[in-house]
Structure 1
Amino acid sequence: MRVYLLLMLVAAAVTFLTTPAARWVAMRTSAISAVRARDVHSVPTPRAGGLAIMLGIVVAVLLASRMPFLEGVFEDRQVFGIVGGALIVCALGWADDIWDLDWLTKLAGQVLAAGFMALNQVQLVTLPTPGGLTIPSSRLSLIATVLVVVIAMNAVNFVDGLDGLAAGIIAIGGTAFFLYTYRLTAEDTPDNYASLAALMMAVLVGVCVGFLPHNFFPSRIFMGDSGSMVLGLVMAGAAITVTGNIKPDVMTGAAAIPALFPLLLPVAVIMLPLTDMAMAVVRRLAAGKSPMAPDRLHLHHRMLALGHSHRRAVLILYVWTAVFAFGAAALVEWDWRIVMSCTAAAVLLAIVVTMGPLRNRGRFLDDDAALEQAGHGSAMAGRPAAPRPRAGAGLGPHAPQNNEESHA
């Protein structure tokens, strides 16, 4: 555990310290989110934070490669497949942050990155169900791998619409997934706790934590596509590597449920992004529009429309992520009846926080107070005050920062 915590700290430190440099690069390359009518931010904001995130991953993985404890992880090509795929989508995302690539070009790049991972043994070949289920052909395996990776990347990309939202969700959900992978490794190989999935999740949590101080409202830099796609790809890659290691017979009796976790837990981790993406696609297709057409009906928009401030909306969505992710992870350790009861109570509490009186609590986690504290008053001077959205009165003036909405 200490090794993983050290790597998490290194990834966080590198990302935190290099984010100002990424901001400088974004300014010099015009990777900047201009202020549009549908945007949340009030001033043009750099959006190449993914460069610092990627650097944090690379440095932490290189350090891990020199540690005897993890030498077995680097005996095959999987780790290089994940890091290499992340580098591909980071470069793709950076190009999109600068030039606003069309959706077909970005999809082709995502497929290329997923294919690179599959060629380096990060491939979904079995489904971890009790008794095991093997994918019958290499072609289907490749298609399944690409599909899972592309969906994960776009799910994280879709939800990256408020300051600190995507990084926080992945940090919280990634922590739950890390604890699961660590426990699974301890059960599977009690004499060796080294695990590629645990390594990548520790690093992923670290880079998110390191980036958040720069990205939480009011944000000084956005992660951009170069960051959101990297987070989704690494999450998917870690999940895929776990599917090849699970042994359903390791856990018996009522604990046989965890045999499904390499599939279920990653879904729980990104439940909000997946839900948001599915709703957006259905909504737009039903309206006769492209699935990538921008609109203002995302989950975070709805939170703002309920009357929540930017920061309250983000923190409440953090709560929902924790409920899903840790609720699923708890099934590994405790009886499912206890877990379901506690999760149901947590869901009720989250509903009260979401729909209750916090929506009109004056300056509690108010955006204006945060802007004043951060010294953004001068940046707002001369700009007309945005009207507060009223609960049930439709959508407020806010919209995603820079990612999915700029894809159209």
Structure 2
Amino acid sequence: MKTVLLAALLAFLISLVLTPVVIKNAVRFGLLDIPKDARRVHKKPIPISGGLAMYVAVMAGMVVFLDLTHELIALMIGATLITVCGLIDDKWEMSAKVKLACQLLAAGILVFGGSHIEFFTNPFPFGESVIFLKALAIPVTIFWVVGITNTVNLIDGLDGLAAGVSLISAVSLAVIAYKFEYNSVSVIAALLAGSCLGFLPYNFNPAKIFMGDTGALFLGFMLSYISIEGIMKSAAALTIVVPVLILGVPVFDTTFAMVRRKLSGRGIMQADKGHLHHRLLALGLSQRQTVLILYGISIIFGLLANLVAGVDAQIGLFISLLTVINVVLIGKVSGMFKSKEEL
């Protein structure tokens, strides 16, 4: 536990000190988010690519606290690739196809390094206790990595939102990975949490810098890896449900967005103003109030995930199903399946 806390502290300090340097150089090199459409909440150009500070903090921490195994080197290469792609996108705006290709390549590097979702545990009192994916292991892993990477990117719409939700998710993942005795993974999760905490003073409303795709893609990529290695490789029941709950805010918001766009006849990747944070703002809440509410929801999801990870399989399944049903009902009542024009 001492190592986990020291890792979080080091990443926090590096991110806290380095972010002002990134702000200065972002302005110098023209890395600015200029408000040019109605989806953007800010009114003036803001430095972008703050994710570089978090990237450096996590990479440095891994070198200091962990042995450079084949798997860890693959993680570092994949994370570097996804961060560079995000940086290029922040500067020149990549096409969706090129961004997806970068994400698939980064996910493939993880798989090559040995990170696989090899099985799902069966929580039901019948059938095999473990369902092995076999030939599906690689495509399922790649789908998970790319999916989680993009869910974090999609909620990065308000000052401090993606960084705070990622911080809470990383803490929850660190606790569970430590319980499952995946000590190196808990250190990586702690590094990610510390880097987010160091970045937040500059990113919380009113933001002095945005993380950009540089940060959002990096955070999503790292969270996907941690969830695989820190939870899904355990034989404990409901290992697939636990990371979904931990990442509940971005996962459910993205799912609602895809369903909403499909029902309204739009492309599922077409941006809109129907995300949960947009709905809360439309109710008259301030940016800070909206972000704090979503932090609270993320904390609740994290607590539920820790509860599910530590109880009997059938009880955990009941809690999980009840949670999902309530989330879907709340989403329907609040209009999350309808476009803004239909409300």
Give me the TM-score of the superposition, normalised by structure 1: 0.73
Bigger radius of gyration among the two = 1
**Structure 1 counterpart SS, 2:134:** coil
Distance 1:212 1:174, change over 3 A: same
Alpha-carbon separation, structure 1, partners of 2:93 and 2:262:
23
Q: CA deviation at 1:320?
A: 0.6
Q: Is the 8 A contact 2:153 2:213 kept in 1?
A: yes
Q: Counterpart of 1:3 in structure 2: which amino acid?
A: T
Alpha-carbon separation, structure 1, partners of 2:241 and 2:26:
37
Distance 1:291 1:28, change over 3 A: farther
Q: Is the 8 A contact 1:271 1:324 kept in 2?
A: yes
Identify the match of residue 303 of structure 1 among 273, 280, 283: 280
Residue of structure 2 equivalent to 1:253: none
Alpha-carbon separation, structure 1, partners of 2:198 and 2:74:
24
Alpha-carbon separation, structure 1, partners of 2:282 and 2:233:
44
Measured against aligned partners, the alpha-carbon deviations of 1:134-159 in whole angstroms (never above 9, x if no partner) come to: 2122xx22211110000000000001
Alpha-carbon separation, structure 2, partners of 1:43 and 1:302:
22
Mean CA deviation greater in 158-167 or 18-27: 18-27
Identify the match of residue 264 of structure 1 among 230, 241, 253: 241
Residue of structure 2 equivalent to 1:149: 145
Q: Is the 8 A contact 2:117 2:138 kept in 1?
A: yes
Which segments of 5 or more consecutive residues in structure 1 lack a partner in the other structure? 66-70, 186-193, 249-258, 356-393, 396-408
Alpha-carbon separation, structure 2, partners of 1:331 and 1:146:
25
Which segments of 5 or more consecutive residues in structure 2 lack a partner in the other structure? 124-128, 335-339
Matches within 5 A, 1:284-303: 284-303=261-280
Mean CA deviation greater in 171-180 or 113-122: 171-180
Residue of structure 2 equivalent to 1:8: 8
Q: Is the 8 A contact 1:33 1:45 kept in 2?
A: yes
Distance 1:109 1:157, change over 3 A: same
Q: Is the 8 A contact 1:173 1:326 kept in 2?
A: no
Q: CA deviation at 1:325?
A: 1.2
Residue of structure 2 equivalent to 1:107: 100
Identify the match of residue 226 of structure 1 among 214, 221, 226: 214
Q: CA deviation at 1:290?
A: 2.4
Residue of structure 2 equivalent to 1:401: none
Q: CA deviation at 1:25?
A: 2.6
Q: Is the 8 A contact 2:52 2:214 kept in 1?
A: yes
Q: Counterpart of 1:174 in structure 2: which amino acid?
A: A
Residue of structure 2 equivalent to 1:57: 58
Measured against aligned partners, the alpha-carbon deviations of 1:74-114 in whole angstroms (never above 9, x if no partner) come to: 4x422222222111100000000000111111000000000
Residue of structure 1 equivalent to 2:70: 77
Q: Counterpart of 2:101 in structure 1: which amino acid?
A: A
Give me the TM-score of the superposition, normalised by structure 2: 0.86
Identify the match of residue 168 of structure 1 among 158, 164, 172: 164
Alpha-carbon separation, structure 2, partners of 1:280 and 1:27:
33
Alpha-carbon separation, structure 1, partners of 2:184 and 2:232:
11
Q: Is the 8 A contact 2:180 2:231 kept in 1?
A: no
Distance 1:321 1:244, change over 3 A: closer
Alpha-carbon separation, structure 2, partners of 1:80 and 1:99:
28
Asked whether 1:318 is paired with 2:295, we answer yes
Q: Is the 8 A contact 2:249 2:298 kept in 1?
A: yes
Residue of structure 2 equivalent to 1:399: none
Q: CA deviation at 1:300?
A: 0.3
